[in-house]
A and B are shown apart, each in its own frame.
Chain A
Amino acid sequence: MKGEPREIGYLTYDVFKKKIDLPSRERLAKGPVAIIECIEDIPCDPCVEACKLGAISKASLTTPPDIDYEKCTGCALCVDNCPGLAIFIINMNYREEKALVSIPYEMLPAPKRGERVDALGRSGKKIGVGEIVKVRKGTGATFVVSVAIDKDLAMEARFIGIQGEINE
């Protein structure tokens, strides 16, 4: 397969769409929901433990997690509990033009609300710009950073480059 994940080290957008069973358009329109980008048989289950709504389950310790999008409210507790930093929250119901993408963040400088950032895709390339609208310090010092970006980037933006400039 072109873009075979283990041959490039990440999921291309095409492979992502193929490998991950995404929420329906209707579910996305309702509001925040978790997208779990974990496709390997890693023995691991903190996401199951983290979800208080029972939306995440695993058939066995080593199977990739299953998520029930109807139970998921996009609370983001799983985001900072996933050791692989592989869970993201997408809110397509944030603003008319903008979606809100919440990502796990463990780098310096510490993210600040109101900051303008570069939106980076899974390949690390800049795909647009966004604004940090919320920062939560999650478990074990992992920040959950919510970034407002154009809706068409919501399924692609997975990291931020902090420019240090605050939007007034």
Chain B
Amino acid sequence: MEKNRRIREHPIIDFERGKRVRFQFEGQWLEGYEKESIAAALFASGVKIFSRSKRFNHPMGWFCGIGKCSSCLMRVNGIPNVRTCITPVKEGMRVAIQGKKGVLPDEADIAVTKKEERAQVLIIGGGPAGLEAGITSTRLGLDTLIVDENPIPGGQLIKQTHKFFGSKQEYAGLRGFEIASIMLKELRKCGGRYLTETSAIGYYGKDGKQKFLAFKKREGDYQLLEITADNIVVTSGASENYLSFPGNYLPGVYGAGGVQTLMNVYGVKPGNKALIVGTGNVGLIVGYQLLQAGVEVKALIETMPCVGGYLVHAAKLVRLGVPILLKHTIKEAKGKKCVNGATIIAVDEHKQTIEGTERELDVDLILIAVGLSASTRIVSQAGCEKMFVPELGDWIPTHNANMETTIDGVYVAGDGSGVAEASTAMLEGRIAGAAIAEKESYNPGEAKRIKEEAFSELSKLSESSFLKAVTTGKSRCQQKWNEVRSRER
């Protein structure tokens, strides 16, 4: 097993590791640090295989690393299907790969207590959109509760080590993790509540206006929370898109966001030599972050004839000597137990591969950064209407300018309402928070002012050609919302 995956020196981040803990993996004792995820502790100890294919028995690793997919599910302390990427490692924990057959836990392993909660505004997801919705609604006088399934608050902001674009209102010029701590401080200051490690598991409408949601909370024991809320803002974020190619299941093929989490949150080096598939801003940014973590970036590849993200991000990589190969795609990930190479191939203008142009790359890490899809399961369950937006290539919850869905009192914001970027997410969260206050007559004048200001900020952002797809998609969405509403009347 490869050791020393811990990043000791980093140009931007000082990793503060918790107390050392010992835990068992498949009966063998390993070491990790308190507050880091089981997945990070395993990976740092050299464990790359997280499961085996039920049909072919081939080894598989984690993929998204941010609590969205199911590739890191393991049996922890006897309980099956635990998402190891968002569950902190604890002293004495027993972790095991799940077999081909599901085994129910022993009764003794699960202790569940039940608790009731109430909030005027319940926010599902505590990233930039959720935090902004929380801060805004709390400031305007509403009782707000944010629940988030991650152990560390702040959503994807906490793994963003680059300085943010945008304007001062959206904390431009600061690094993502700095923005998260400012927003969390702000939320605390105005009295907003934030529960970590709390997964939204179900929605139940009750008596028309009241929304009733059940959650489970992991804090040592499991707690089933029944939360009654007048309004809900779903800021559930997005999940990494996947790509089909031979070997894509191998440990070493990871989502860009998961790699960011591993190296920037937990200080664990994801590999030594990387290939990045996709040159949108995510691919470009994570490429730069890999270099900062001491990982060699062999190449970025892109099927389009031009770079997808900002030129300034691409330029940072190119001047550091990283090749960006346009009109290329991945043909195969090589390796038996984990990735030990990749074959890339050129594509023509119709994105068809050109035989004979294959090239082998010596890599142990393949990052998939080919876009994100809005996480909409909770809004679907709530019965909110969804629509397909071709510009975004995605299904999004139909919502109006106030970010309200087709169900009264259920709002959306951020990537979960259509994938854009952090400034848009913050502004949408602010709009949702203010719109709720306005509706509930909490400081309605001030709420309206905040909302109008955020609308005008959003329209400034929308002038950028980079946000054209989002802007077109969202206006189409508002049109649809009006149609649905007039039909209902």
A residues contacting B by CB (< 8 A) are 4-11, 37-46, 49-50, 60-62, 81-86, 106-108, 110, 120-124, 139-142, 158-159
- Compute how far the CA of A35 lies from the CA of B141 in the bound complex, rounded to whole angstroms: 47
Residue of A nearest to B302 (CB): A9
> For the complex, what is the distance from the CA of A110 to the CA of B12, rounded to whole Å?
11
Which residue from chain B places its CB closest to the CB of A61 in the assembled complex? B460
A123 to chain B, nearest CB (A): 6
Interface residues of B (CB under 8 A from A): 9-12, 162-168, 172-175, 178, 279, 291-292, 294, 305-307, 310-322, 324, 326, 423, 460-461, 463-467
A86 nearest CB across to chain B (Å): 4
**Taking the nearest CB of chain A, how far is it from the CB of B465, in angstroms?**
5
Report Cα–Cα, A113/B340, bound state, in Å: 40
Q: Which residue of A lies closest to B9 (CB)?
A: A108
CB contacts (< 8 Å) of B292 on chain A: these are 106-108
B175 A43 Cβ-Cβ under 8 A: no
A81 to chain B, nearest CB (A): 5
Question: In the bound complex, how far is the Cα of B314 from the Cα of A60, in angstroms?
Answer: 23
| B463 pairs with A60, CB closer than 8 A | yes
Given A108-B11, A121-B319, A123-B319, A140 contacting B461 (CB threshold 8 A): no
Ranked nearest first, the 9 interchain pairs of A and B with the lowest CB-CB distance are A84-B312, A46-B173, A9-B314, A124-B321, A83-B163, A44-B165, A6-B306, A159-B319, A10-B318
- In the assembled complex, the Cα of A107 lies from the Cα of B296 at a distance in Å of 13
Query: A6-B306, A45-B167 given as contacts; is B315 within 8 A of A140 (CB)?
Result: no
Q: How far is the CB of B460 from chain A (nearest CB, A)?
A: 4
Q: Of A11, A81, A83, A85, which is in contact with the most chain B CB atoms at under 10 Å from its CB?
A: A83
A-B pairs with beta carbons under 8 A, tally: 139
B165→A84 contact, CB < 8 A = yes
Given known pairs A86-B315, A158-B319, the reply for A43 and B423 (CB within 8 Å) is yes
Contacts of B460 in A (CB 8 A): 43, 60-62
Contact of A41 among B10, B313, B466 (CB under 8 A): B466
Contact B464 A83 (CB under 8 A): no
Cα–Cα, bound, A141→B324 (Å)? 27
Q: How far is the CB of B162 from chain A (nearest CB, A)?
A: 7
Q: Are A11 and B464 in contact (CB under 8 A)?
A: no
The answer to whether A11 and B326 have CB atoms under 8 Å apart is no
Q: Which residue on chain A has the smallest CB distance to residue B306?
A: A6
- Nearest CB on B from A160, distance (A): 10
| Chain B residues within 8 Å of A140, by CB | 12, 163, 173-175, 178
Check B291 against A107 for contact (C-beta < 8 Å).
yes
CA distance A5 to B313 in the complex (A): 12
| A41 CA / B165 CA spacing, docked (Å) | 12
- A159 proximity list for chain B (CB < 8 A): 319-320
Quick one: closest B residue to A108, CB to CB? Answer: B11
- Which among B279, B315, B461 is the interface contact of A37 at CB below 8 angstroms? B315
Q: Do A43 and B311 have beta carbons less than 8 Å apart?
A: no
Pairs A–B under 8 Å by Cβ, sample size 8: A6-B307, A42-B312, A61-B464, A83-B173, A110-B11, A120-B321, A123-B318, A139-B173
Whether A124 contacts B464 by the Cβ 8 Å rule is no
Asked if B317 contacts A9 (CB within 8 A), the reply is yes
Given contacts A108-B11, A124-B322, are A41 and B311 in contact (CB under 8 A)? no
**Residue of A whose beta carbon sits closest to that of B288:** A106
Q: How far is the CA of A92 from the CA of B307 in the complex (A)?
A: 33
Instruction: Kindly identify which residue among A4, A40, A141 contacts B310, using a CB–CB cutoff of 8 Å.
Output: A40
Instruction: Judge whether A42 and B314 touch: CB under 8 Å.
Output: no
Find out whether the CB atom of B467 lies under 8 angstroms from the CB atom of A108: no
- What residues of chain A lie closer than 8 Å to B11, measured between beta carbons? 106-108, 110, 141
